[in-house]
Amino acid sequence: MSDATDHTIPRKRDHLLLNEAPAKPAPLVDAFQRRISYLRMSVTDRCDLRCTYCMPERMTFLPKREVLSLEELFELASGFIDRGVTKLRITGGEPLVRRDIMDLFTALGRRLGHDLQELTLTTNATQLATHADGLAKAGVRRVNISLDTLDRARFAELTRRDALPQVLEGIEAARDAGLKVKLNAVALKEVNEEELPDLIGWAHARGHDVTLIEVMPLGDVEEERLDQYLRLDTVRNRLEDRWTLTDNARSSGGPARYVDVAETGGQLGFITPHSNNFCASCNRLRVTATGQLYPCLGGNERVDLRAALRSDNPQEALAQGLDQAMAIKPERHHFRMDKRGADPALARHMSMTGG
């Protein structure tokens, strides 16, 4: 693909584009014999929304100098792909607010069909109308869009920004660009609890699958977490009063369990870190925009890959960092949602590690 950005990102790795075949390094397998094939890479901690379950209104963002450059992010992702990561999700913060982010998608898209099988993103869709075509051109085929309500006033209250029309426009643009859209909704007690069936019905009528997520105690937010927490087994029971849900064998290798909804013809996923632990099949790693690798979303184990990237021998240091991550990836997370007024299980917000 030729465009004005051809020379901006993949400098040190031009051999990849020339079809040279470097020796295949060892795949990533952790101490519990889980094969790691999926990376979620955050490209910024910044966001244009302020979802009440994700961050406080006055969120302190990282100084920009601490964040990896687009070239470093490309190097980083390539290091993982070299070790057998076949699926890469770009996340944040809001990935589409990062300047020139399409250059990174374009560069990463060139690895598709070689060793990378899928390039995706998670977005709040506020900027998607601008970028949907570019993403499709870069090789993105599917996007996860976070949408917790279709009610404009509730959306404004929940995200602290009146941006629902932009988001709906973004979803429409993604569809027009041929991107397969999956909606993610965090189930929130007394906020969108009653609306969830309508949200699911709306999405399924447009051909979008939906995944519901239980809120997780990540970072300080202004609200009490227990007041937000809605168990998804309760939601499922209520949905079963209305619809026929049949367990479906599909697995994304991830934490979601899926059902088919007979009446809508759509698929519904449940991510239930509290009521059903999903760690045994975990195949993923997460890296923050500052290059900190967190082998577990729910743990404090960490490897500093920015230091590796900025060392004298980045490729070797990166490989060592990944080996270290395999050694320390914990067996499971230890989120708890049973104590009112408790400190968050982890100090960092979801916008830091990426959802």
In the chain, count H helices and then E strands.
12, 12
Write down the residue that tokens 């959306």 correspond to. Answer: 155
Q: Of the two residues 101 and 325, which places its CB atom closer to ligand SF4 in the complex?
A: 101
Kindly state the smallest distance separating residue 3's Cβ from ligand SAM, in Å.
26
Q: How far is CA 179 from CA 142, 143, 170, in A?
A: 5, 7, 11
Rounded Cα gap, residues 308 and 315, in angstroms: 8
Of these partners, ligand SF4, ligand SAM, none, which one is at the site of residue 50 (CB under 5 to 8 Å by kind)? ligand SF4
Of these partners, ligand SAM, ligand SF4, none, which one is at the site of residue 293 (CB under 5 to 8 Å by kind)? none
Kindly state the smallest distance separating residue 146's Cβ from ligand SF4, in Å.
6
Q: Of the two residues 123 and 288, which places its CB atom closer to ligand SAM in the complex?
A: 123
Q: Of the two residues 105 and 318, which places its CB atom closer to ligand SAM in the complex?
A: 105
Rounded Cα gap, residues 203 and 168, in angstroms: 11
Kindly state the smallest distance separating residue 122's Cβ from ligand SAM, in Å.
4
User: What's 22's DSSP letter?
Assistant: -
Which residues contact ligand SF4 by CB under 6 A? 47, 49-51, 54-55, 92-94, 124, 146, 351
Kindly state the smallest distance separating residue 247's Cβ from ligand SAM, in Å.
23
Which secondary structure element, helix H or strand E, spans residue 18, and what is its range? none
Of these partners, ligand SAM, ligand SF4, none, which one is at the site of residue 215 (CB under 5 to 8 Å by kind)? ligand SAM
Contacts of 339 (CB under 8 A, 6+ apart): 226
* Selection from 128, 133, 88, 92 nearest residue 110 by Cα: 88
Which residues contact ligand SAM by CB under 6 A? 47, 53-54, 91-92, 94, 122-124, 146, 184, 186, 213, 215-216, 218, 350-351, 354-355
Q: Of the two residues 130 and 320, which places its CB atom closer to ligand SAM in the complex?
A: 130
Question: Taking each helix axis from N to C terminus, what angle separates 101-109 and 70-82, rounded to the nearest 10 degrees?
Answer: 30
- Residue with nearest beta carbon to ligand SAM: 355
Kindly state the smallest distance separating residue 40's Cβ from ligand SAM, in Å.
9
* Selection from 318, 217, 319, 316 nearest residue 273 by Cα: 217
Kindly state the smallest distance separating residue 348's Cβ from ligand SF4, in Å.
12
Backbone angles phi, psi at 50, to 5 degrees: -140, 65
The two structure tokens encoding residue 29:
């397998």
Q: Of the two residues 28 and 90, which places its CB atom closer to ligand SF4 in the complex?
A: 90
